[in-house]
Amino acid sequence: MNRNVATIPQDLIAALKKAKHVVVFTGAGVSAESGIPTFRDSLTGLWERFHAEDLATPGAFHKDKELVWGWYEWRRMKVSQAQPNPAHIAVATLATLVPKLTIVTQNVDDLHERAGSTDVLHLHGSLHSPRCATCGQAHILPPGIPVEPEGGRRSSPPVCICGGLVRPGVVWFGEDLPVRELRQAFEAAQKCDLLFAIGTSGLVQPAARIPSLAKQAGACVVQVNPTSTELDRECTWSVRGGAGEIMPNLLQAAFGPA
């Protein structure tokens, strides 16, 4: 027996087998095994002396547009070079195994979609959909993977046809989340019978309310994370380990080999 493999509780397996509506709520940890640093990992290269929280603000963009645009282009390159990992694939597979699945992510990457998931609710926007900071017009990025140096670089944001500067299509600290996505995520949390919180520290509101909304409405809440988090007290089960190992094991335990 491999002692590193977390034991999956039998009552969790039973709950998954009979669940009618499952919500999967993901954070940066679900993409960690694809080589994408989590939000609270230390930054390196040009951004070594910054915290991600200090770059992901309207004020940071206002103060130093080249620094912030360069950071997002570097992140877009990293995500474009990465591949979905077994956790993303297990989540996409789960949609074929339960009557209803809603995927809600805080991630700005597209790895759920590239694993085959559709209708993913992105609460914090996307690296792949920049828009004009002045008129809001969507900006079409050049095709292909951006070529950025490993240590990052400052880079001027593109200019919109209105003359305004283009900004990343993400939600920054202090900004509102997209109304439709947030409403649908809250509704799904309140209607589901089982919610997975995978790879999130549960620190950033209002997204972090989602597991507690599910719990208050009577759903079971499962956390998949190698460490303890703010969400521990909301959870019916906390399965400790990497999502890329736990999620495929859990699907196999509940539904048999793929």
Tell me which residues touch ligand OAD (CB under 6 A).
27-29, 32-33, 38-40, 53, 56, 106, 124, 171, 173, 199-201, 203-204, 224-227, 229, 242-244
For ligand OAD, which is the closer residue by CB, 132 or 246? 246
Specify whether the CB–CB gap between 138 and 129 falls below 8 A.
yes
For ligand OAD, which is the closer residue by CB, 87 or 192? 87
For ligand OAD, which is the closer residue by CB, 224 or 235? 224
Report in angstroms how near the CB of residue 115 gets to ligand OAD at its nearest.
15
For ligand OAD, which is the closer residue by CB, 125 or 157? 125
Report in angstroms how near the CB of residue 38 gets to ligand OAD at its nearest.
3
Q: Compute the distance between CA of residue 132 and CA of residue 188 in angstroms, rounded to an integer.
A: 31
- 154: closest CA among 96, 73, 247? 73
Count of C-beta atoms within a 10 Å radius of residue 151: 11
Place of tokens 């495929």: 248
Q: Compute the distance between CA of residue 62 and CA of residue 198 in angstroms, rounded to an integer.
A: 33
Report in angstroms how near the CB of residue 20 gets to ligand OAD at its nearest.
25
Question: CA torsion, points 187, 192, 196, 199, in degrees to nearest 10?
Answer: 0
Q: Which residues are catalytic?
A: 124
Report in angstroms how near the CB of residue 161 gets to ligand OAD at its nearest.
28
- Which residue of the chain is nearest ligand OAD when measured via CB? 29
Q: Compute the distance between CA of residue 116 and CA of residue 103 in angstroms, rounded to an integer.
A: 12
For ligand OAD, which is the closer residue by CB, 17 or 40? 40
DSSP H or E segment with residue 26: strand 21-26
Specify whether the CB–CB gap between 69 and 77 falls below 8 A.
no
Q: Compute the distance between CA of residue 98 and CA of residue 208 in angstroms, rounded to an integer.
A: 24
